[in-house]
Amino acid sequence: AAGMAAPTMEERKACWGARDEFWQCLDSHGDDAAKCEKLRRAFESRCPQQWVKHFDKRRDFLKYKKKLETEGFHPSEAAGKS
């Protein structure tokens, strides 16, 4: 592990490629991580740990955003159900 050294362009491309393959796998399997374990491992081995954490958060955020866009956000309804 290179520690905190900035990855080279090649390493970044490898990392992004692994991330995209992993995310595509998740997308096509309804986020069933078990089906994408190999790609997850490749993603983790090709990306700095810091980045893996960042991308995981980013994916959660993007999914949340998409959910809001498709389902809409209705705070009054949600509040009424409690």
Task: For residue range 40-68, list pLDDT tens digits in order.
Answer: 999 999 999 999 999 999 999 999 999 99
Residue 67 CA to residue 33 CA, distance in Å, equals 19
Q: Is the dihedral of CA 18, 21, 27, 29 positive or negative?
A: negative
Q: For residue 54, what are the domain limits?
A: 11-66
Residue 54 lies in a domain: yes
Full-model pTM: 0.76
Number of structural domains the chain divides into: 1
